[in-house]
Structure 1
Amino acid sequence: MEAVVFDGAQMTVTYHQNFPMPKIVNDDDVMVKVAYSGVCGTDVHVIQGEFPALKTRPLPLGHEFCGVVAEVGEKSIFKKGQKVAVDPNWYDIAPCNLCDSCRKGSYHYCLVAGINSTVGLFRDGGWAQYCVVPQSQVYLLPEEITLEQAGLCEPYSCVAHGFDRASPLKVGEKILVVGAGIIGNLWVTTLHLHGHREVTVSEMNKSRLETVNKLKTGYRLVTPDILEKEKAEYDVIIDCTGVGKVMEINFNYMKPGGKYVVFGCCPPTHQASLNPFDIYNKELTVIGVKINPFSFPNAIGWIKAMGDRYVNYESLGVKTYELSEYQQALDDLKKGSISKAVFKIQ
């Protein structure tokens, strides 16, 4: 089968036309014929050696994907031909179920589970024509959701977790979204769906601001130099950049009692200097957001409610590629000419 394969030992990514097909091994396995598989910023970090992934053998990356059930194990509740999305994070089998995190229902903190056993990072992922996962990670899609829209289920599930972590977000509060890549755009659609209108989006790449404008939310769109000149304060800042220096700068724009949501995934080497007195004096809250624990159903519900009004590839700046075009997809992402690359797999 076709696949885009990461070799962690060599730190290389290559396209294969004859990568071995996966096989049903367990009674509850589901083989998914992949339709859409996203390229996440985390994938770029992995390829650049800035984020952990399996290094003992080559594997297809890709932790954001959906498709159609092709084959199932004997005890699976799924049927061939069903449209499904896959949650890449394994929490009912992989966690140790003994540590405090697991026993409190926070499997994403477990040193075994969560991001440490993710499909597409530590197990074969969706940058391939087929992928086998346990049925516990498979979600049946409503008829109202297209496979194209379902390709964004995983990133929306992460936003859903971030939304829960930051809540309550009161309508009328001044909110700043920093970064207008795909995650910033998904936050824009989420905030608008939930009735927020006092929202500013900051992005240094003006072509990305033009993409946000296509979403027709009426939000104020600015470049970082405007924020610096205004020195306005915000109730909530949602940082989608994954850049430590950006946090250091934008932390100065917090209102007393404000919340700073660290959503973008910074490489471990990034640092930011914050003033502890400001945190004390303004009673500021810093909120970290890690993956998507139990938030996949929310994401599916949101996408169903949003429909084409919000979840539209052209409006969101998403471009599709064939697996063989993986290098072009990565290059376009790095240039910032698109907000997101998604493999459309035949």
Structure 2
Amino acid sequence: MKAVVVHGAKDLRVDEVPAAVPEPDGVLVRVVYGGICGSDLHYAADGRNGAYPVEEPLTLGHEVVGVVADVGQSASGAPPIGTRVAIHPAVPCAPAGAAEPTGLHLTPGGTYLGSASTRPHTQGGFAELLPVGVGQLRVLPDNLPLRRAVLAEPLAVALHGLARLGDRVRGARVLVSGAGPIGSLAVTGLNHLGARTVVAADLQEYPLQVAKSVGATEIVRLSDGETCEPGSFDVVVEAAGAAASLASALAAVRPGGAVLQLGMLPGGGVPVPMASLIAKEIALFGSQRFDTELDAAIALLAAEPALDAVVSHEFDLGSTAEAFACAADSSRSAKTILRLSADPDS
């Protein structure tokens, strides 16, 4: 079978790898779509993601959906072959339908699809076939096409971060700093949670138009010199993963407001003026992946066809290099996806 494998910095290949089989108590999924994430781009360009270098060939991808292709002989509770599913990329992970937070996403030593954080590395889902545990599957509703469902993992990340804010969102004026895929998904999540106004700010026009199409009330074109009035937002969601954006967030939030650090900041020291955190009594929240929110993300995707706009480009495996180049260019793309096998919805 074919898989998208990174061998080192600027060494991304579509390799022929041994065909996967399910574990006796697991399932095999025929992967249909995979979304290219920022971590995939870092592995492909730099041979590492933050503190985690690629030390062996690594199949990328953790935002994947597909169809159950085979079931292990001792698997219990597995959906039938042919069932359309999203995949929770973490082990351990919260069970489907979990009502209360589990904290499993913070478990030391846990694994995540397509990650070099473990030795051996945890191989990812940009492959034609992917073996996973039964507990990682989420059956998709009939009215949710796979092409939109591929947004389930990043939307779950956004919803988990917003949940960290508690009751601060309802009725609030909110700024989303960075209108890329995670920022645009946060816009939808904020509206769903009852924000009064959602403003999206970015340097690029393309992501701003995507954010507007999924519910941003206003947009701020930073490259045109437009700015956000200091102290004018109850909540700011930093979704760009840039030190300058965090500094702007601390300036834009009102005294007593809250900032959610949703974007992944670079490792090491980050030069951000933190005095306002004290002077304005700002509540600063971090957010790591997600816990129980995958089910809520799937339900929201089924209810919001407008989220189709977040998927801007689709490439087949033969055009993987072009797909990664497109995903890396925020001036012309939002979420870029790979089609790894035939879509039964088409």
Residue 342 of structure 2 corresponds to residue 341 of structure 1: no
Residue 324 of structure 2 corresponds to residue 325 of structure 1: no
Letter in 2 for 1:89: A
Asked whether the 8 Å contact 2:20–2:129 carries over to 1, the reply is yes
**Which of the two has greater strand per residue?**
2
RMSD after superposition: 2.1
Aligned CA distance change for structure 1 residues 281 and 218 (closer, same or farther; 3 Å) = closer
Partner SS state of residue 321, structure 1: strand
Distance 2:172 2:293 in 1: 24
Alignment of 1:270-309 (within 5 A): 271-276=270-275, 278-306=276-304, 308=305
Asked whether the 8 Å contact 2:327–2:335 carries over to 1, the reply is yes
Instruction: Report the Cα offset of residue 269 of structure 1.
Output: 3.6
Instruction: Report the Cα offset of residue 287 of structure 1.
Output: 0.5
Render the CA deviation track for 1:34-60: whole Å, top value 9, x for unaligned. Answer: 011010012112232243557443131
Which residue of structure 2 aligns with residue 191 of structure 1?
190
Distance 2:325 2:10 in 1: 17
Letter in 1 for 2:240: T
Distance 1:191 1:106 in 2: 23
Letter in 2 for 1:192: N
Alignment of 1:100-249 (within 5 A): 105-113=102-110, 117-121=111-115, 122-215=121-214, 217=215, 219-224=217-222, 225-227=225-227, 230-249=229-248
Asked whether the 8 Å contact 1:60–1:127 carries over to 2, the reply is yes
The share of aligned pairs that are identical, in percent, is 26
Asked whether the 8 Å contact 2:199–2:216 carries over to 1, the reply is no
Distance 2:269 2:335 in 1: 23
Residue 27 of structure 2 corresponds to residue 33 of structure 1: no
**Which of the two has greater helix per residue?**
1
Distance 1:262 1:144 in 2: 33
Partner SS state of residue 22, structure 1: coil
Unaligned residue ranges in structure 2 (runs of 5+):
95-100, 116-120, 342-346
Partner SS state of residue 163, structure 1: helix
Distance 1:172 1:190 in 2: 13
TM-score between both structures, scaled by the size of structure 1: 0.87
Unaligned residue ranges in structure 1 (runs of 5+):
94-103
Asked whether the 8 Å contact 1:239–1:262 carries over to 2, the reply is yes
Partner SS state of residue 171, structure 1: coil
Letter in 2 for 1:106: G
Aligned CA distance change for structure 1 residues 71 and 270 (closer, same or farther; 3 Å) = farther
Instruction: Report the Cα offset of residue 160 of structure 1.
Output: 1.6
TM-score between both structures, scaled by the size of structure 2: 0.87
Partner SS state of residue 168, structure 1: helix
